[in-house]
Amino acid sequence: MKHFKHIFSAVAIFLATTAVAQTTVMDVIAGSPDHTSLRAALFQEGLDAVLSDASAEFTVFAPTNASFDALATALGTDLNGILALPNLSDVLTYHVLGVAVPAANVTNGAIVDAVSTTNTLKLTKTAGGSVYANQAMVVGADLTADNGVVHSVDAVLLPYETVVDVAIDNGFNALATAVITAELMPALTEPLAQYTVFAPTDQAFENLADAVGISIEDLFTPESIAPEELAQVLIYHVLGSEVLAADVTNGAIVNSLSQINDLKLTVKSSGEAFVNQAQITATDITCDNGVVHVLDGVLLPNETVVDVAIDNGFSTLATAVITAELMPALTDPYTLYTVFAPTNDAFDALATALDTDLAGILALPNLAEVLLYHVVGAPVTSDMLVDGPVATLNGSDITVDLSNGVMINDATVTTADVLADNGVVHIIDGVLLPPSAGIDEATDLVVNIYPNPAVNTIQFDGNESYSYSIVNNLGQVVSEGSTSSQSIVVSNLENGMYTLRLNNENGSLSSKFFKK
C-alpha cells in the first residue's frame, strides 16, 4: 500500500509541474529552425534569460537566419562577424518591445519604444495588411507564448538614425505624416541605404494646401490625392545616393527615386541653391543612412516648360536658362507660362549676327532680360493669339502678327502648342531681342544682387550708403531713394526685369534683377 502511495505522489507532482510549465518567447525562438542565428546571438549576449522571464511581457521581432546572412553579406563579413559586433546587445534589444503586441493591434505609423533606448521602432501596416517594423516585413506573425508574442521578420533591425528620424526629430510633421500615409516608412528606414532627402517644411505643405484650395488636414486624404500619387510626389524628393551641399552644381539634372521626372538643381552666383523652384534653406543634416536638406517648397514631378525644352533637344535654350539662373522660376509647378522657344539654329544665327559663338551669347550681360522677353506670365495657346502686343516677363511687349502664319516680332512659330503641366511652349525660328532700355551701363561696375529673382526685398554686396534708382525696361524710374543697409523693398514692383542703379561719391554700380 505504501508503494502505491509513492506512485500517486509522484504522479501528482508531475501533473502539478506540467500545469504551471510555461512557454516563453525564448522557447519559441529556440525551437525554431529558421532562427538559429538569432538564438546564438541571444545566448551569447545573455539575453536568453531575460526573454525567459515568465513574469514579463514581450514582443520580439525575430530576424530569420536568411536576414542575418543578408546583413553579414552587406557588411562584408559572416555570422561570426555579426556576433562580434560591439553593439550586438543593443541591436538585439532593439527588436524587443516591453509589451505584447499582436499583429492585429499594429497601427500604421505607430512609433514605439523598444527595450533598447538607442532609437524608436517605426511600425507600418499597409492597406493590404502587411506589417513592418522599420524596413523589416513580418513574414510570420503571432507566434504566441505565455509571456508575449514573436513575429518573424525578413531583415535585421539596426538602431540607426535614419532620414525618417531626422524628419521626426526636427518637427517635419507634415512630411512625416505624408511618408506614413504613403506607406514609405519601410523604404526610408532602410539602415544600409544611402539617401539624399530634400525635405519640405510644414509651411511648404501649408502653401501647397493653399495652392490647391484645401486644408492641410485634408491634403493627404485619398479624396485629395491617391496614395500611389502621393508616394510618387514624396520619392521625387529623394535621391538614391548621398549628395552634400558642397557637391551640388548649377544646372545639374539628377535622377530622383521617382521615374516620372528629374530634379533640376540651381546654384546661383549669390550662393543660393534651389531644387526646381524650391530654395534650400538648410543643408547637410546628416544621419546614418544619408543626408537631409530643407526646402521652402514642395516639389511636384510635373512636366514643366523647362522639361519641354530639355526633352525636345533645345540644348542651347536650356543652357541659357541655366546660365541666367532662371531654372527656379520656370520649373515652378504652381505658375503658368507661355514660352516662345528659339531652336538651337536660332541661337546659332544670333551668334553669327553678333560675330560671336554660343559662349559669347551665354556671356551677354542682359541674357536673363533676353530670355524673359520670350516668356508670358499666363498660358496662351495658339487659338488664343490675336494680332497686337503681348506683355512678357521682361516688362516689354512682343508683337503678334497673324497675317501670314504666326509671327512673334520677326520670328515665325514653326510648332505651336507643345503643352506642359505649367504652361505651353511655341517653337520659333529666331531669338527675340527686347527693345533697348536706354541705359548705358558701360561705365558702371556690376554689383551682386540677391535673391534674384526677388519677391519682397533685394540685397546687394557692400557696406556703403547709396542713393538708388530702379529702372524698368522702358527706361522709366519706378522707385528711388537712399539706403545704408544694402537692402531695398521691391514688393510693390510688378513682375519683370529691372535695373538697379547705385550712386555715391565713389562712383556708380548697377545690375539687373527679376521681380517675381
Distance CA 382, CA 178 (A): 39
Q: What is the pLDDT of residues 75-129, one digit of tens each?
A: 999 999 999 999 999 999 999 999 999 999 999 999 999 999 999 999 999 999 9
Residue 316 is assigned to a structural domain of this protein: no
Which residue, 375, 400, 256, 389, is CA-closest to 324?
Answer: 375
Angle between helices 173-181 and 202-212 (to 10 degrees): 70
Specify whether 191 is located in the same domain as 237: yes
Pairing of strands 290-295, 253-255: unpaired
Burial of 484 (0-12, 13-18, 19+ CB in 10 A): exposed
- Residue 18: what pLDDT? 43
| Percent above pLDDT 70 for the chain | 93
End of a domain among 375, 398, 428? 428
Instruction: Extract the C-alpha cell encoding 514.
Output: 527679376
Specify whether 286 is located in the same domain as 247: yes
Which residue, 421, 426, 431, is CA-closest to 369?
Answer: 431
| Percent above pLDDT 90 for the chain | 79
Residue 11 has pLDDT above 60, yes or no: no
Specify whether 473 is located in the same domain as 352: no
Residue 447 has pLDDT above 70, yes or no: yes
Residue 475 is assigned to a structural domain of this protein: yes
Q: How confident is the model at residue 13 (pLDDT cuts 50, 70, 90)?
A: very low
Distance CA 122, CA 109 (A): 7
Residue 322 is assigned to a structural domain of this protein: no
Specify whether 242 is located in the same domain as 281: yes
Query: In the predicted model, what is the mean pLDDT of residues 343-357?
Result: 92
- Supply the CATH number for residue 349's domain: 2.30.180.10
- Residue 436: what pLDDT? 53
Can you give 354-365 as a three-state secondary structure string? Answer: CCCCHHHHHCCC
Specify whether 178 is located in the same domain as 289: yes
Beta strand ranges found along 227-336 (DSSP E) = 238-239, 253-255, 262-267, 273-275, 278-287, 290-295
Residue 396 is assigned to a structural domain of this protein: yes
Residue 326 is assigned to a structural domain of this protein: no
Residue 324 is assigned to a structural domain of this protein: no
Query: In the predicted model, what is the mean pLDDT of residues 13-17?
Result: 41
Query: In the predicted model, what is the mean pLDDT of residues 299-327?
Result: 96
Specify whether 41 is located in the same domain as 121: yes
Mean pLDDT for the chain?
A: 91
Pick the more confident residue, 494 or 321.
Answer: 321
Residue 4 has pLDDT above 60, yes or no: no
Pick the more confident residue, 259 or 3.
Answer: 259
Q: How confident is the model at residue 21 (pLDDT cuts 50, 70, 90)?
A: low
For residue 136, what are the domain limits?
Answer: 21-153
Chain position carrying cell 505565455: 146
Specify whether 26 is located in the same domain as 138: yes
Instruction: Extract the C-alpha cell encoding 455.
Output: 519677391
Beta strand ranges found along 330-453 (DSSP E) = 337-342, 375-376, 388-391, 397-401, 407-408, 411-420, 423-428, 445-446, 449-450
Q: What is the pLDDT of residues 175-211, one digit of tens each?
A: 999 999 999 999 999 999 999 999 999 999 999 999 9
Specify whether 83 is located in the same domain as 168: no
Residue 400 is assigned to a structural domain of this protein: yes
Pick the more confident residue, 478 or 282.
Answer: 282
- Residue 340: what pLDDT? 98
Tally of domains in the chain: 4
Residue 158 is assigned to a structural domain of this protein: no
Q: Whole-model pTM?
A: 0.80
Specify whether 26 is located in the same domain as 139: yes
End of a domain among 120, 153, 186? 153
Specify whether 277 is located in the same domain as 167: yes
Torsional sign, CA 101, 106, 112, 117: positive
3-state secondary structure of 96: strand
End of a domain among 295, 325, 348? 295
Q: Say which residues have a Cβ less than 8 Å from residue 62's Cβ, sequence separation at least 6.
A: 29, 32, 35, 38, 95, 143, 150, 151, 152, 153
Specify whether 249 is located in the same domain as 349: no
Q: What is the pLDDT of residues 35-76, one digit of tens each?
A: 999 999 999 999 999 999 999 999 999 999 999 999 999 999
Q: How confident is the model at residue 22 (pLDDT cuts 50, 70, 90)?
A: confident
Q: How confident is the model at residue 16 (pLDDT cuts 50, 70, 90)?
A: very low
- Residue 443: what pLDDT? 46
- Supply the CATH number for residue 491's domain: 2.60.40.10
